[in-house]
Structure 1
Amino acid sequence: MADKKQLHIVMFPWLAFGHIIPFLELSKSIARKGHKISFVSTPRNIDRLPKIPPNLASFFTFVKIPLPKVQGLPENAESTMDVGQEDPGLLKRAYDAMEADVARFLRNSRAVDAVDLIDQLKDRKSPQDFTSPPRWVTFDTKVAYKYYEAKLIVGVGEIDSSGFSEAYRGGIGISQSDAVLIRHCHEFETDWFNLLSNLYQKPIIPLGQLPPHFQETEINHDLNWVSIKQWLDTKTKGSVLYIALGSEATPSQDQLTELAHGLELSRLPFFWAFRKPETSTVKLPDGFEERIIRAGRGMVWKGWVPQLKILRHDSIGGFLTHSGWSSVVEALMLGVPLILLPIMADQWLNARVLDEKEMGLEVVRNEEDGSITRESVAQAVTRVMVEEEGNKFRDKAKEAMAHAFGDTAIHDRYVQHFINHLLEKSIISISSSFGSLPTP
């Protein structure tokens, strides 16, 4: 049922699909309550979005604002998945240059009630500082960066080619906002939420986990899914490992090689959604695909896949993931246990949280350089999916499905609470985070 007052909310996410898609899910949740959404991004990014359900389309306006040209930024690069290993500061500089056009749109829009922007929070200086929880974490936890990750994290305090550091961007975004939104529910991370409230000293509004709505009627309209389903239907219940490491970052060639051989070593059937940035040169080991196809044990799919439908299939018994939060939510809302292979940024901490809560198991890496072995991959996979010890991971995933992730009524209440907050205000500026909550 729609609220009596119709809000008009502008969404302007950072140019990464790990941000854009969760913003879109939040927008759909708000539209279901009868409120208008103006979704602002670049033309190419908007054209790549999934279609809005027909019953919500009238609530959406997609605003295409061209990305200003920046010297050195590749032609047609409009998101992080387009820039490969190029300096991300160039994309940030172009994003900053959208300010005038976005401001003009806001001035010309009538009755805009909220503008949604982006955040991160970083502090500390040496790699060693990041390898244990910071002093302001007041409860017992082992969530922290590994040393090889910490060596990369130190760079966030440095000014990049955009002219600002990540720490500055995060701090200014939070300090100038009226409230902070987080993709969070108290049923999952109460301690971290309370800590964040104390640190930010301003309203922190949880949105729930924003689980996507599964459209049953779409199943037979996707030719990719028809072929994939036929293969999955040949496998026994809970026997198949699903692998997807995202499309914006890939393991190194050595890591990819060890991962592939580890899958063979596990002797489990698997479906691998293998996507990589166009600029990436990594490749699967010679003969790998031929061997797994000949043995009838695996499938490598090199295009887009309907991930939610795959995870929902009875044959899926585990998900080897890069630990991006949207993928985590999709798996746990369906009770699928996780094998965690984080590659970058917030994925590292996401993996630590899930490992600590025994909803997944992180693949063991070399602490100095982050390398993996085929044995460590095979051990993690078989431990979660086959061994008796893996019952705890499987049980925890089912508990998550029943409560913190799979109960849509819980998440609907969080969105309604956010809307109620907006109904009490006029125009507000919001800083938001859609990754895992911890930011030590």
Structure 2
Amino acid sequence: MEKRGDRVLHIAMFPWLAMGHLLPFLNLSKSLAQKGHKISYISTPRNIQRLPKLPSTLSSSITFISFPLPPFPGLSPSFESSMDIPYNKQQSLKSAFDLLQTPIKNFLLRSSPDWIIYDYASHWLPSIATELGISKAFFSLFNAASLCFMGPPSSLIQETRSKPEDFTVVPSWVPFESNIVFRYHEVARYVEKTEEDVTGVSDSVRFGYSIGESDVVIVRSCVEFEPEWFRLLLDLYQKPVFPTGFLPPVSEGEGDDDATWVCIKEWLDKQRVNSVVYVALGTEASLPKEELAELGLGLEISNVSFFWVLRNELEIPDGFEERVEERGMVHVGWVPQVKILSHESVGGFLTHCGWNSVVEGLGLGRVPILLPVLNEQGLNARLLQGKGLGVEIVRDERDGTFDSDSVASSVRLAMMDDDVDAYESRKGKVKLMKDLFGNKDKSICYVDELVRYLTSK
């Protein structure tokens, strides 16, 4: 007779429409499928097309379920992801996403999965799952420290913090000393934006219901990295909390003949080992033109080699490429980030501190240079800096501006600090983190624990 713990589960996965969410949900799907479970991965057509191909060994275990994103005022029909739209249109994308409730409910009714694992944006999904008798798990692509800073579900739903100043202090529910707070400029723009754009439901309320009405919370992090924050999460949520480890991405040689990668690799191959700073601010973050110019000038005067990824040609400062052609390369558009970070010539990573990028950079042993731009990125920067893992570019506390000297000095600190002891200490800590963030076996053990729980219910 089949033991309950050995049964094959049917698990539906439903991520938010952002690459930093779609890819970790896919990585978790692969881990669960490798353990013999059937996965229905739900998203929109264009986002599914953007995902990497499944290995042949998993193609029969993971089924992609595609639902067109319903039309919404102000959104082009081709806009299906946060990377397709400016930041001030994000709320409109979430309102369109909310219109998927009916097709999602109909799919769950037909397919009757054992579990639905969902993201923060689908605050309406837990009540649907409860109605249909489906167990529900909230999967956080935010680390435990960030979740703790957000607070218990009741505070999120009631939106007890409303002014920028409320987010620049340690919350009352954190019982120990902490540096995990926002700088004023990191939250002011966001609070002002939500006051101007009242479309749909706030992120705070989405998080509150998504967490509060779940049966279990899953976190893409590990206890070894942030033990005190996981203990606090259990107190705040009063329900099971399972880490998955970091689910490090795997680059298995696919796309080695891609023209973009061939060109990039040719340039990287000519650079010295650990000499290049990879500069990429993610698919959503964008800087004002003045700050882009300061960032470019800082890279130029740092005397450090760099590879800089930009979203469009208009972002390139005038005459910049000609001035830096001896030691810098600028690329516009998509790049294979994991392949670049895996290259031996790359030693540092100037990043917007999105958790996905942090995991990839530290998992491959690259020294972080921290330039948070939006969302929870400032909290991630504080977490890394508090552990001595990164060099943060100094910005004005109120308006967030920075200058080229700040960029240049931070890059030099990370890559060739004159203080040998400080440099070696930083490199040593990053090496330890590589063993933790890039540890696939650790993630396998954590997912094993999660699966034991899921199959026991």
The answer to whether structure 1 residue 118 and structure 2 residue 119 are counterparts is yes
Q: Which residue number corresponds to residue 304 of structure 1?
A: 334
Q: Structure 2: 5+ residue runs without aligned partners?
A: 121-146, 151-155
The answer to whether structure 1 residue 414 and structure 2 residue 446 are counterparts is yes
Q: Which residue number corresponds to residue 100 of structure 1?
A: 102
The answer to whether structure 1 residue 405 and structure 2 residue 437 are counterparts is yes
- 1:263 aligned counterpart, secondary structure: helix
Q: Give the AA of the match of 1:257.
A: A
Check the 8 A contact 1:67/1:78 in 2, yes or no.
yes
Q: CA deviation at 1:155?
A: 5.1
Count of matched residue pairs: 414
Map 1:286-301 → 2, pairs under 5 A:
286-293=318-325, 296-301=326-331
Q: CA deviation at 1:322?
A: 0.8
Check the 8 A contact 2:248/2:363 in 1, yes or no.
yes
Q: Which residue number corresponds to residue 237 of structure 1?
A: 273
The more displaced of 76-85 and 178-187 is: 76-85
CA distance in 2, matches of 1:181, 1:173: 12
Map 1:40-189 → 2, pairs under 5 A:
40-110=42-112, 112-119=113-120, 121=150, 122=156, 123-154=160-191, 160-189=197-226
Q: Which residue number corresponds to residue 283 of structure 1?
A: 315
Q: Which residue number corresponds to residue 428 of structure 1?
A: none
CA distance in 1, matches of 2:61, 2:191: 43
Map 1:346-425 → 2, pairs under 5 A:
346-387=376-417, 388=420, 389-402=422-435, 404-425=436-457
Check the 8 A contact 2:88/2:193 in 1, yes or no.
no
CA distance in 2, matches of 1:20, 1:175: 22
Identify which of 11, 14, 26 aligns with 1:12: 14
- 2:428 aligned counterpart, secondary structure: helix
- 1:241 aligned counterpart, secondary structure: strand
Check the 8 A contact 2:34/2:58 in 1, yes or no.
yes
Q: Give the AA of the match of 1:18.
A: G
Q: Give the AA of the match of 2:291.
A: Q
Q: CA deviation at 1:241?
A: 0.8
The more displaced of 235-244 and 224-233 is: 224-233
Q: Give the AA of the match of 1:142.
A: N
- Give deviations 1:197-224, integer Å, cap 9, x for gaps: 1111111111111111231x43633332
CA distance in 2, matches of 1:418, 1:273: 37
Check the 8 A contact 2:285/2:352 in 1, yes or no.
no
Identical pairs, percent: 47
CA distance in 1, matches of 2:237, 2:193: 20
Q: Taking structure 1 as reference, are residues 303 and 167 closer, same or farther at Cα in structure 2, changes over 3 Å only? A: closer
CA distance in 2, matches of 1:367, 1:177: 37
Q: Taking structure 1 as reference, are residues 5 and 178 closer, same or farther at Cα in structure 2, changes over 3 Å only? A: same
Q: Structure 1: 5+ residue runs without aligned partners?
A: 426-440
CA distance in 2, matches of 1:130, 1:86: 21
Q: Give the AA of the match of 1:83.
A: I
Q: Which residue number corresponds to residue 263 of structure 2?
A: 227
- 1:191 aligned counterpart, secondary structure: helix
The answer to whether structure 1 residue 272 and structure 2 residue 274 are counterparts is no
Q: Give the AA of the match of 1:415.
A: V
- Give deviations 1:214-246, integer Å, cap 9, x for gaps: 31x436333322221221111111111111111
Q: Which residue number corresponds to residue 133 of structure 2?
A: none
Identify which of 294, 299, 303 aligns with 1:263: 299
CA distance in 1, matches of 2:77, 2:86: 13
Q: CA deviation at 1:158?
A: 5.5
- Give deviations 1:130-165, integer Å, cap 9, x for gaps: 112112111212111001123234458759544322
Q: Taking structure 1 as reference, are residues 157 and 87 closer, same or farther at Cα in structure 2, changes over 3 Å only? A: closer
CA distance in 2, matches of 1:283, 1:407: 36
- 1:57 aligned counterpart, secondary structure: coil
Check the 8 A contact 2:48/2:64 in 1, yes or no.
yes
Q: TM-score, normalised by structure 2?
A: 0.87
Identify which of 233, 248, 253 aligns with 1:196: 233
Q: Give the AA of the match of 1:332.
A: L
Q: Which residue number corresponds to residue 436 of structure 1?
A: none
Q: Taking structure 1 as reference, are residues 161 and 75 closer, same or farther at Cα in structure 2, changes over 3 Å only? A: farther
Check the 8 A contact 1:182/1:204 in 2, yes or no.
yes
- Give deviations 1:288-318, integer Å, cap 9, x for gaps: 011111xx11111113222112111111111
Q: CA deviation at 1:76?
A: 1.5
Q: CA deviation at 1:282?
A: 5.0
Check the 8 A contact 2:31/2:447 in 1, yes or no.
yes
The more displaced of 154-163 and 82-91 is: 154-163
- 1:218 aligned counterpart, secondary structure: coil
Check the 8 A contact 2:94/2:200 in 1, yes or no.
no
Q: CA deviation at 1:391?
A: 2.3
Q: Which residue number corresponds to residue 327 of structure 1?
A: 357
CA distance in 2, matches of 1:378, 1:195: 38
CA distance in 2, matches of 1:282, 1:142: 37
CA distance in 2, matches of 1:73, 1:219: 32
Q: CA deviation at 1:91?
A: 1.3
Which structure ranks higher in relative contact order (CA pairs < 8 Å, sequence separation ≥ 6)? 1
- Give deviations 1:83-104, integer Å, cap 9, x for gaps: 2144322211111110010000
Q: CA deviation at 1:33?
A: 1.2
